[in-house]
Amino acid sequence: MTITKKFDVLTYDQIREKLLSGELTCESIVKRYLEKIKEFERLNAFLSVFEKKAIQRAVEIDEKIKNGYVGKLAGMVIAIKDNICVKDEKCTCASKILENFVSIYNATAVERLLNEDAIVIGKTNLDEFAMGSSTENSYFGPTLNPYDEDRVPGGSSGGSAVAVAAGLSTTALGSDTGGSIRQPAAFCGVYGLKPTYGRVSRFGLVAFASSFDVIGPFGNSTKDVALVLQVIAGRDENDSTSADVPVPDYLSYLDKDVKGLRVGVPVEYFAEGLDDEIREAIEKRLDFLRESGAILEKISLPHTEYNIPTYYILVTAEASSNLARYDGARYGYRSPQAKSLYEMYVKSRSEGFGAEVKRRIMLGTYVLSAGYYEAYYRKAQKVRRLIKEDFDKAFEKVDVIITPTSPTTAFKLGEKTDDPLKMYLSDIYTVSVNLAGVPAINVPAGFDSKGLPIGMQIIGKQFDEGTILKVSDFLEKNFSG
């Protein structure tokens, strides 16, 4: 019998009803979360907590509720990954180089949440500049997994995943470049959605790899994730890569059955290297979907083995270019040692960035440098097309693709820090989704014999978040096993 820790969590549904009936106030909810944050301080999920501001805002929203007007997310307490800008608050990216940087505007996603009366409670820990899979690469120390504090929460959005899992906030925003929402969601047993590339504005998200990055929500239910996506999705004139595609009513996809749904199961994602307990948990859910009227089909994504090398060439190249802006001139850390302009650049960057960030800037600079551009960068762009075409072909036959989110459950702190390649391979099932720009969600899929959460990934067609939310919601409400 598996013993799993239980955390005291509330979904927004439960809160909203009590708020509108007057049984609860936003102020009492915020105070409750602030207490929880203190109680779980050792997990290091938050880099900053907006105690005063959050209470003040709660009081204002309570007033609005009394006056009969409420936004869609009134009283939803949300934590924001610390690479997403919240006006007049620090945005450190868990880096020494931005330790004292204060945002002068809100990210569009944050602005839209605030417009619907959500309450931002604080900023969460991450791998420096979102580069990592364990939240160990933080200048402010690692975040711990609430299910086993000797283990990592996954990454890079580890703080956001932990905040939601341990009940320190109702929902959270993260960012996903190669799995940074889904993998920590899997390791912490929560829902985490990576939207289609361009579905959510990147304005105010600190750039890592611009053709991959996307902001997305964490929640303790599919509905919470859908509610947040509803508000943050859509075209934004401040982000020219945000898509001008209509945003459907995501709630209309919930409480539906899966009769006739075509589910693709890619053989490459169930091959060697996958933990047996995870395989079993996913297969049980696949069987349940079949029994519920879905049509399962074995498919192939033949370029799967090239995902990781392609991904690491392209993201490091984009990162080396994006991170060139940290030069010590206009904002961020400047080395006190620097006597010339050249030294200001070199010393500020070398003292300000951590090891993994430097490693990626170096790799990216290398693959873009004269003589290697064709062999590495251009080659990887070509393979990216082949990988995307694999998905295009698969989605001609199926509506969703189901895979494990990660080959293992949460690993031990320090287990992979000395071996970057080993760490990179923990993203093996998630990076393809970013390479193809499609949406995917992590759905909690029970626990292994160590009591650690297992995650299942549902991948959809571009801009079809609705269908993956439908499947996630169906399993959440109907599967028990």
Decide: 217 and 224 in contact? Cβ < 8 Å.
yes
In the chain, how many H helices and how many E strands?
15, 11
Residue 193 backbone dihedrals phi, psi, to 5 degrees: -110, 125
Q: Which is nearer to other proteins, 60 or 239 (CB)?
A: 239
By the rule CB under 8 A, 320 interacts with other proteins: yes
Which of 149-157, 223-231, 235-243, 291-299 is the region at the interface with other proteins (rule: CB under 8 A)? 235-243
Q: Catalytic residue among 81, 123, 194, 416, which? A: 81
> Minimum Å distance from CB 182 to other proteins?
17
Residue 48 bridge partners (DSSP): 123
By the rule CB under 8 A, 331 interacts with other proteins: yes
> Minimum Å distance from CB 61 to other proteins?
27
Residues in the chain: 481
Q: Catalytic residue among 133, 180, 221, 432, which? A: 180
Pick from 225, 195, 182: nearest CA to 13: 225
Q: Which is nearer to other proteins, 155 or 437 (CB)?
A: 437
Q: Is 156 a catalytic residue?
A: yes
Token pair listed for 145: 């997994």
Interface positions, 428-457, toward other proteins (CB under 8 A): 435-437
By the rule CB under 8 A, 341 interacts with other proteins: yes
d(CA 137, CA 129): 9
Q: Which is nearer to other proteins, 105 or 270 (CB)?
A: 105
By the rule CB under 8 A, 272 interacts with other proteins: no
Q: Which is nearer to other proteins, 122 or 332 (CB)?
A: 332
Pick from 365, 324, 355, 339: nearest CA to 347: 339
Decide: 176 and 442 in contact? Cβ < 8 Å.
no
List the one residue from 92, 95, 145, 462 that touches other proteins (CB under 8 A). Answer: 462
Residue 243 CA: distances (Å) to CA of 196, 343, 465: 9, 41, 14
Q: Is 340 a catalytic residue?
A: no
The answer for residues whose C-beta is within 8 angstroms of residue 436's C-beta and 6 or more apart is 387, 388, 390, 391
Which of 14-22, 119-127, 332-340, 393-401 is the region at the interface with other proteins (rule: CB under 8 A)? 332-340
Rounded (10°) angle between helices 222-232 and 108-115: 110
Decide: 479 and 285 in contact? Cβ < 8 Å.
yes
d(CA 112, CA 420): 37
List the one residue from 71, 251, 296, 306 that touches other proteins (CB under 8 A). Answer: 306
Which of 94-102, 132-140, 290-298, 407-415 is the region at the interface with other proteins (rule: CB under 8 A)? 94-102
d(CA 257, CA 382): 39
> Minimum Å distance from CB 308 to other proteins?
8
Interface positions, 180-219, toward other proteins (CB under 8 A): 196-198, 211
Which of 111-119, 137-145, 224-232, 339-347 is the region at the interface with other proteins (rule: CB under 8 A)? 339-347
3-state secondary structure of 367: helix
By the rule CB under 8 A, 59 interacts with other proteins: no
Q: Is the alpha carbon torsion for 180, 183, 187, 191 positive or negative?
A: positive
By the rule CB under 8 A, 381 interacts with other proteins: yes
Q: How many CA atoms lie within 13 A of 238 on its CB side?
A: 12
Is residue 418 packed enough to be buried (19+ CB in 10 Å), middle (13-18) or exposed (0-12)?
Answer: exposed
List the one residue from 142, 153, 217, 332 that touches other proteins (CB under 8 A). Answer: 332
Q: Which is nearer to other proteins, 66 or 378 (CB)?
A: 378
Interface positions, 286-305, toward other proteins (CB under 8 A): 303, 305
List the one residue from 327, 415, 450, 476 that touches other proteins (CB under 8 A). Answer: 327
By the rule CB under 8 A, 345 interacts with other proteins: yes
**Contact pattern from residue 118 through residue 137 relative to other proteins, giving x for each residue in contact according to CB under 8 A and a dash for the rest:** --------------------
**Count of residues in contact with other proteins, rule CB under 8 A:** 73
Q: Is 81 a catalytic residue?
A: yes
Decide: 460 and 400 in contact? Cβ < 8 Å.
yes
> Minimum Å distance from CB 177 to other proteins?
13
Pick from 472, 397, 390, 396: nearest CA to 433: 390
By the rule CB under 8 A, 354 interacts with other proteins: no
By the rule CB under 8 A, 312 interacts with other proteins: yes
> Minimum Å distance from CB 197 to other proteins?
5
d(CA 424, CA 427): 6
Q: What residue has token string 């994602």?
A: 269
List the one residue from 29, 261, 383, 469 that touches other proteins (CB under 8 A). Answer: 383
Q: Which is nearer to other proteins, 43 or 107 (CB)?
A: 107
Residue 217 backbone dihedrals phi, psi, to 5 degrees: -95, 155
3-state secondary structure of 274: coil
By the rule CB under 8 A, 237 interacts with other proteins: yes
By the rule CB under 8 A, 105 interacts with other proteins: yes
Q: Which residues are catalytic?
A: 81, 156, 180
